[in-house]
A and B are shown apart, each in its own frame.
Chain A
């Protein structure tokens, strides 16, 4: 499992801790046993595995949204009027 997380961290630019906090490590390690690097990144970033979204969580935890610093649409509300504020920087 640690090998999978380390490889994922290296490919995605998100730390092992960030990846573990998604709660998806075990599901993805199982799913992506024979994945190419590009497929694995795609899974982590968009929650899509070979044309299927395996769970609501996979969508909600998509790293592309985290990179941008917003919740995946339809998963959380950042608060009334929060959209009016200057966006924060989310990159490491």
Chain B
């Protein structure tokens, strides 16, 4: 069997591995180029703004998430990276499972149901956690999601931050609106102490505090790790932009067309084709939709490109009464899970609360912004040094990940505008429903209560001239993007209303698969990469068993 996998990111690298291990001849076509690891670290250090994509070389021929044409109401801000390893190179490495309720969001809240249940995915969650390498404690996770009896994560839970201990000592056991609070360890794709016979791949996390966008010691999983485990049956070609998938009259996909370039600074390219028995699109939610639309495939439901989601994130930031030592270790090692499920989700979006350990870095640009402010206030010498220590040393942020339901009006279409290769740029229509806005507002109220309990000094402010600012029920709000694009080739039970079936196979084409977060009918309140990985492994199993 000849398989072509489009995209060498998270899902593509995992599927290529399983197929290559099982006798397929696999060709992986990656649109972007490469960035050497040491160069990425250096580029990060010297970047003025340490934005997620700053460390990585991108190419003119395969622009990344910054070439979207936004038509509003809000700009779609989820960044993605077209490079070998994909956005999984940049990711934060936080790997919570979805909550069982999240698979029934149409019944219990808003949006769409999944065609499968949590129980169908549970074995693949375990497989993904071992392939990726996840640090967590099964008993601790069982407090909020089902985990199979006798299961051990490959590595013990990472030590919590000092901040987590301070927060837990105050809030554990107390309640907000009938929800009992419990600070719970977050599963992490970061190297901790191995358990259950797991062999550590890479260094133990020593706490560089730069997981996003680059872990200098490779303690965080990236898809490159899986690529190193590929058999010789997998061939990777970078700088190959697939711009056409072709099908015969029966609907079977026969070949992919791609544009190959050598020079990263121009659109100069040559055209090629690859024949395939099976094609797997794993190019990112936006790029998969773009490619299907460009090819005129898989869209009998008219759902390709629709249901675009993200996790709108609410950030709130404050000073603890005492120094807590931010910017040490991972960005977040715990969360409060109490608001992820339950009857409230009928009326407003649920949320998950990450306890953020990197000061006000994301929310307010610390410590550079604090320094500028204190210098402008006239502080000099020892007074300045003390003021910076005092201000930054007590900073923390709460990061609320709000569920965004599948809404067909939020969508990717093809813009008239073309990129350097002559391919259409993705055009994005993206807004927030009242359901999401009510969730953001509820999150803000919970934040107020938490800061009150912690006796923390609230510095949160949202101003009208800031990006993604809005008012809801008369209250100022703002959201950030968690960078979790999904929904654009949505999975369902019927060809009339969805793009792919439960195996991520396009209903309209028996040998075409569209994989990744684009298949997700809902993303609940979990960072979606682990679920994407579990789905990818499930699809790979299905492909292998069909080939036999």
Contact = CB atoms under 8 A, between A and B. Distances in A.
B389 interface: yes
A25 interface: no
B355 to A, nearest CB: 12
Given A42-B371, A64-B371, A74-B216, A83 B330 contact: yes
A81 B155 CA distance: 14
Contacts of A70: 209, 325-328
A83 to B, nearest CB: 3
A37 B328 contact: no
Contacts of A10: 380-381
A45 to B, nearest CB: 5
A11 B388 CA distance: 13
Given A74-B44, A74-B216, A67 B392 contact: yes
Contacts of B333: 83
Interface string A2-21: 00000000111110000000
Given A11-B381, A64-B367, A84-B159, A78 B392 contact: no
A92 to B, nearest CB: 7
B204 to A, nearest CB: 5
How big is the B interface, by class?
Answer: 35 or more
B456 to A, nearest CB: 16
A83 B161 contact: yes
Contacts of B255: none
A10 to B, nearest CB: 6
Nearest to B42: A56
Interface string B78-94: 00000000000000000
Contacts of A67: 385-386, 388-389, 392
Contacts, number: 161
Contacts of A51: 48
Contacts of B216: 74-75, 77
Given A87-B162, A87-B324, A92-B382, A46 B371 contact: yes
B494 interface: no
Contacts of B383: 13
A55 interface: yes
Contacts of A69: 325, 389, 393
Nearest to B358: A73
Contact of A82 (B44, B329, B390): B329
Interface in B8-49: 41-42, 44-48
A74 B41 contact: yes
Nearest to B366: A64
A65 to B, nearest CB: 7
A82 B205 CA distance: 10
Contacts of A56: 42, 45-46
A34 interface: no
Interface string A48-66: 1001111110111001110
B371 A91 contact: no
A52 B48 contact: yes
B367 A13 contact: no
Given A48-B48, A55-B46, A38 B392 contact: no
A12 B386 CA distance: 10
B384 interface: yes
B214 interface: yes
B252 interface: no
B381 A83 contact: no
Contacts of B327: 65, 68, 70, 73
Contact of A13 (B209, B372, B384): B384
A13 B385 contact: yes
B392 A53 contact: no
A12 to B, nearest CB: 7
A55 B217 CA distance: 20
Interface string B315-328: 00000000111111
A68 B207 CA distance: 16
A89 interface: yes
Contact of A68 (B48, B382, B392): B392
B427 to A, nearest CB: 32
B388 A64 contact: yes
Contact of B375 (A41, A58, A77): A41
Interface in B334-392: 357-358, 361, 367-368, 370-372, 375-376, 380-386, 388-390, 392
Q: 5 shortest A-B CB distances, which residue pairs?
A: A77-B206, A87-B325, A83-B329, A74-B210, A13-B385
Interface of B: 41-42, 44-48, 50, 158-162, 165, 192, 204-210, 214, 216-217, 323-330, 333, 357-358, 361, 367-368, 370-372, 375-376, 380-386, 388-390, 392-393
Interface of A: 10-14, 37-38, 41-42, 45-46, 48, 51-56, 58-60, 63-65, 67-87, 89-92
26 contacts: A11-B380, A12-B381, A12-B385, A13-B380, A37-B380, A38-B376, A41-B375, A51-B48, A55-B46, A59-B45, A59-B46, A64-B370, A65-B367, A67-B388, A71-B209, A74-B44, A74-B45, A77-B206, A80-B159, A82-B207, A83-B330, A83-B333, A84-B165, A85-B162, A87-B323, A92-B382
